[in-house]
Amino acid sequence: MNDMRIVERDVETNDVKIAAKDVQVHYGDTHAIKDVSVDIEDKTVTAFIGPSGCGKSTFLRCINRMNDTIDVCRVTGDIRIDDQDIYDPKVDPVQLRAKVGMVFQKPNPFPKSIYDNVAYGPRIHGLAKNKSDLDDIVERSLRRGAIWEEVKDRLHAPGTGLSGGQQQRLCIARAVATEPEVLLMDEPCSALDPIATAQVEELIDELRENYSVVIVTHSMQQAARVSQKTAFFHLGNLVEYGETGQIFTNPTDPRTESYITGRIG
Amino acid sequence: MQDQHIASAFDRDLEAIQAQIMKMGGLVENAILEAAISLETRDEERAELVRKGDKAIDALEEMINEEAARVIALRAPTAIDLRLVLSVIKVSANLERIGDYAKNLAKRTSVLSQMAPVNDSAGALRRMAKEVERMLKDALDAYIARDAELAQDVIDRDAEVDQMYNALFREFLTFMMEDPRNITACMHLHFIAKNIERMGDHVTSIAEQVVYLVTGATPDETRQKADKTSLQA
């Protein structure tokens, strides 16, 4: 009878993509992340939820070493992608970020054409052999970003001229153009209207076929809608990490229950 | 209105719970028919299969309720989607009760097959069960097709089942008055008739859920109790 279950939320693989162990993050004197260990699975959407300042964005930024750019920030512990330590001195953060794409809260297209926005990454990483190859990459990425149909006739118009929702999908297309293996999204829909949000969420669900997606969101409903796994952060601790359906119907930790039912913030 | 959600996964969730309702409905329809046939043919083995089959129906109800809770928690359904999820929970409860009545019918079959038959009452009960099964089939078809008219038709047809029950009630009463040795069998047969009548009420409730799902309002209870036989006796 199990074939009748809602197969939707089944995770097809249990391969661990990102393994974090005993991660601590300090901003100067502030202890922002306290001893977080988590295994994030491949081809899965994992949502990080929690109140403001709980450390979810900080932890997300550890995964592609974005925190390196902050002087007072100190990261200790072990974060591995495909069993490779990403804080190993031999790892080039630029190469790492090609493998671990990121989409931010506010759409931030380059002040260039739509085409160049997407072509930028493949160009600097030398992913295209020639012009037609690059054209293919751009088209494929824009299709994956679910925006191709809307922009195919004006690829050389500036990316900044698009609507907010279109800009965000353009940024997603730009992020997938370098064929990353992991896609990090920090509040990707907070500047979008409900329809654009639904389109981006549908896109996230499709991206799951190829990528491991980690999304930070303030909207618990968004986490519930798009993710297979949910992690709840509170005061720098990872309180609970589990299957999304379980977290939202029967959480094990009382703090998780209080947060998702709107009793603590 | 557009048929599909932008989030296609939401559509798949809703389709999946409706598919489970349909599967449960199929099992229940079959249980009604099989129980009635085993009563008429005095086939204890067949009755036993009905009793065993009820476990699968109960398990489906539990699963449907779990999935409905997940859809509410994860998708926050609104308007027609919310009505669908609410109706799924109620319909599965109705189906589960009908399944229990069919199981009870099968249980009594194994007792009755040890006794002398009472006239053609088993045939009349099977016809009554057949009518209820047809109503259930139509109610489920109406559910999938979002057909409020067909659902209303099912609601109206419950009066016929009530009539059949009242006729049987009188008949059993007469047999018992004629010969006290009939009492044990007639008591069982009466419970069976009453249970089939109750099945009809649950089918009516399913049909009402269809009307609620389609229109957003539950139908008015306009049907009068036409026959007061069972109260006067």
Q: Is A118 within a domain? A: yes
Domain B8-218 classification at class level: mainly alpha
CA-nearest of A210, A222, A157 to A182 is: A210
CA dihedral for A9, A13, A17, A20, sign (positive or negative): positive
Res. A160: pLDDT tops 60: yes
pLDDT value of position B87: 96
Q: How far is B15 from chain A (nearest CA, A)?
A: 9
Q: Which of A74-88, A152-166, A228-242, B113-127 shows the lowest mean pLDDT across its residues?
A: B113-127
The answer to whether A1 and B53 have CB atoms below 8 angstroms apart is no
Q: Chain A partners of B11 at a C-beta cutoff of 8 Å? A: none
Give B131 to chain A, closest Cα distance, Å: 29
Residue A2 lies in a domain: no
Within A28-116, strands assigned E span 30-41, 45-49, 73-81, 84-85, 100-103
- CATH code where residue A177 lies: 3.40.50.300
Q: How confident is the model at residue B224 (pLDDT cuts 50, 70, 90)?
A: low
- Put simply, the answer to whether B63 touches A4 (Cβ < 8 Å) is yes
Which pLDDT value is given to residue A7? Answer: 45
Region B59-82: mean pLDDT is: 94
Q: Which residues of A touch B20 (CB under 8 A)?
A: 4
Q: Please spell the DSSP secondary structure of B79-105, one letter per residue.
A: HHHHHHHHHHHHHHHHHHHHHHHHHHH
Q: How confident is the model at residue B227 (pLDDT cuts 50, 70, 90)?
A: low
Instruction: Report pTM.
Output: 0.82
Note whether A209 contacts B: Cβ–Cβ < 8 A.
no
The whole-number average pLDDT for the span A104-115 is 93
Contacts of B74 in chain A (CB under 8 A): 224-225, 244-245, 248
The domain limits of chain B are 8-218
Contact A79, A100 (CB under 8 A): no
B21-30: string of b/e by CB count within 10 Å (b at 16+)?
Answer: bebbbebbbb
- The arithmetic mean of pLDDT across residues B194-199, rounded, is 97
A2 pLDDT exceeds 60?
no
Given a contact cutoff of 8 angstroms between Cβ atoms, the answer to whether A203 and A172 are in contact is: yes
Mean pLDDT of chain A: 90
Output the DSSP codes for A124-182: HTT--SSHHHHHHHHHHHHHHTT-HHHHGGGTTSBGGGS-HHHHHHHHHHHHHTT--SE
Judge whether A68 is closer than 8 Å to chain B, CB to CB. Answer: no
Cβ contact B12–A8 (<8 Å):
yes
Answer whether B69 sits within 8 Å of A202, measured CB to CB.
no
Chain B residues closer than 8 Å to A8 by CB: 9, 12-13, 16
Helices (H) and strands (E) in chain B, counts: 7, 0
Q: What is the ipTM of this complex?
A: 0.76
Alpha-carbon span A51 to A72, nearest angstrom: 23
For B141, residues 6+ apart whose C-beta sits below 8 A from its C-beta are B147, B150
Average pLDDT on A23-43 reads 93
Within a domain: A10: no
- Provide, rounded to the nearest whole percent, the portion of chain B with pLDDT above 90: 82
Contacts of B67 in chain A (CB under 8 A): 5-6
**Average pLDDT over every residue of B54-64:** 96
Q: Report whether A222 contacts A197 (CB < 8 A).
A: yes
> Considering the domain boundaries, does residue A81 fall inside one?
yes
- What's the pLDDT tens digit per position in B151-194? 999 999 999 999 999 999 999 999 999 999 999 999 999 999 99
pLDDT band (50, 70, 90) for residue B1: confident
| Chain A residue at shortest CA distance from B20 | A4
Contacting residues of B for A49, CB less than 8 Å apart: none
Average pLDDT for residues B76-86, to the nearest whole number?
94
**How many structural domains does chain A have?**
1
Asked if the Cβ–Cβ distance from A198 to B5 is below 8 Å, we say yes
A141 CA: distance to closest CA in chain B (Å): 20
The average pLDDT across A72-98 equals 91
Interface size between A and B, measured as CB pairs under 8 A: 59
Q: Is the pLDDT of residue A86 over 90?
A: yes
DSSP labels for B99-161?
HHHHHHHHHHHHHHTTS---TTHHHHHHHHHHHHHHHHHHHHHHHHHT-HHHHHHHHHHHHHH
- Shortest Cα distance from A224 to chain B (angstroms)? 5
Q: What is the pLDDT of residue A1?
A: 41
Those residues whose C-beta lies under 8 Å from the C-beta of residue A5, and which sit 6 or more positions away, are B16, B63, B67
- % pLDDT > 90, chain A: 70
Residues of B in contact with A4 (CB under 8 A): 16, 19-20, 23, 60, 63
Give the sign of the dihedral formed by CA A56, CA A59, CA A65, CA A67: positive
Q: Domain range holding A88?
A: 17-260
With an 8 Å Cβ cutoff, is A5 touching chain B?
yes
pLDDT in the model for residue B159: 95
Q: Cα distance from A80 to chain B (closest Cα, Å)?
A: 30
A221 touches chain B (CB under 8 A): yes
What pLDDT does residue A225 have?
A: 93
The pLDDT confidence band at residue A12, using thresholds 50, 70 and 90, is: low
In the structure, what pLDDT confidence band is assigned to residue A191 with cuts at 50, 70 and 90? Answer: confident
Q: What is the mean pLDDT of residues B27-56?
A: 95
Interface residue A7 vs chain B (CB under 8 A): yes
Nearest chain A residue to B8, by CA: A202
Q: Do A245 and B60 touch (CB under 8 A)?
A: no
> Chain A partners of B22 at a C-beta cutoff of 8 Å?
none
Residues of A in contact with B71 (CB under 8 A): 6
